[in-house]
Amino acid sequence: MNAVIVIPTYNEAGGIEIMLDAVRRTVPSADILVVDDNSPDGTGALVAGHPDFGRRITLLNRADKGGLGAAYRAGFAWALDRGYDVIVQMDADLSHPPAKIPELIAALDLTDIAIGSRYVEGGRVSNWSASRRLISWAGNTYVRTVLGLQVRDATAGFRAFRRASLLQLDVLDSQSNGYSFQIENTWRAGQLGLTTTEVPITFTDRTTGQSKMSAGIVREAVALALVWRWRQIRSHLHRPSSQRSDVTA
């Protein structure tokens, strides 16, 4: 299967070259697409200066900082247009271990979507404060409860998709932007009956650059989870009684 690794970036100059080298060593047969939101720190120039640029590495420049979801939609559209069988998404800051990419891709032999998960047996986080751990755990518990999700790490950004799964998800038509982009795709997959396998990973907090997490991103995720659930309930109530079933995940 031909695979591409989609990596969104904004001000990741401190580690992008290390990241690209690590991915190239781990999956030398895969292509890499960096989606850069016009980083003022020169991230795009470093990508363009990599020895493998133009062969295995491509740079998709975007004019403005449009958010994580928008960057992934642009990257996924690029990958789908070029016929890739497998599309992997991951962060640029080495918080997602490149060494786990082959395991995620291999999992697609038996599942539609593979997630690098912090919250299944064998998964963990490293270098996080107690407050950061609590926020992440509470956020996942909240969205899993509201949306009835079975996936343990619904906010995970390290994922591999079969091409057919991305098309079925209609991911290019999604509306969410921040980390709720991950939640929306997890929820959509469950609604469509797609199978998801969680592969345990060690998530390591970034050592370069700055986190893009903000209060606004958290508020978006909290609000959208409620909106999606309400739409699901309303759709169920408007069906003829003979077609109704319990509203679950």
Residue 93 lies in a domain: yes
| Per-residue pLDDT at 194 | 97
Rounded distance, CA 116 to CA 67, Å? 21
Q: Domain limits at 107?
A: 3-241
Residue 235 lies in a domain: yes
Query: For residue 29, with 0-12 CB atoms within 10 Å meaning exposed, 13-18 middle and 19 or more buried, which class applies?
Result: exposed
Residue 246 lies in a domain: no
| Per-residue pLDDT at 57 | 98
Least confident of 28-32, 87-91, 217-221, 239-243: 239-243
206 φ/ψ angles, rounded to the nearest 5 degrees:
-60, 150
Residue 105 lies in a domain: yes
**Nearest to residue 158, comparing CAs of 14, 63, 19, 13?**
19
Task: Work out the average pLDDT over 112-117.
Answer: 98
Query: For residue 118, with 0-12 CB atoms within 10 Å meaning exposed, 13-18 middle and 19 or more buried, which class applies?
Result: buried
Count Cβ neighbours within 10 Å for each residue of 234-247 and write b for 16 or more, e otherwise. eeeeeeeeeeeeee
Task: Work out the average pLDDT over 94-116.
Answer: 97
pLDDT tens for 178-226 read 778 899 999 999 989 999 999 999 999 867 655 555 555 566 666 777 7
Residue 249 lies in a domain: no
pLDDT tens for 157-177 read 999 999 999 999 999 988 787
Write down the mean pLDDT value for the chain. 88
Which residues are CB-contacts of 223 (< 8 A; sequence separation ≥ 6)? none
- CATH code of 15's domain: 3.90.550.10
Q: Domain tally for the chain?
A: 1
Angle subtended at Cα 86 by Cα 81 and Cα 91, rounded to the nearest 5 degrees: 95
More confident residue, 31 or 129: 31
Residue 123 lies in a domain: yes
What does the block give as tokens for 136?
A: 């992440």
Residue 11 lies in a domain: yes
Residue 248 lies in a domain: no
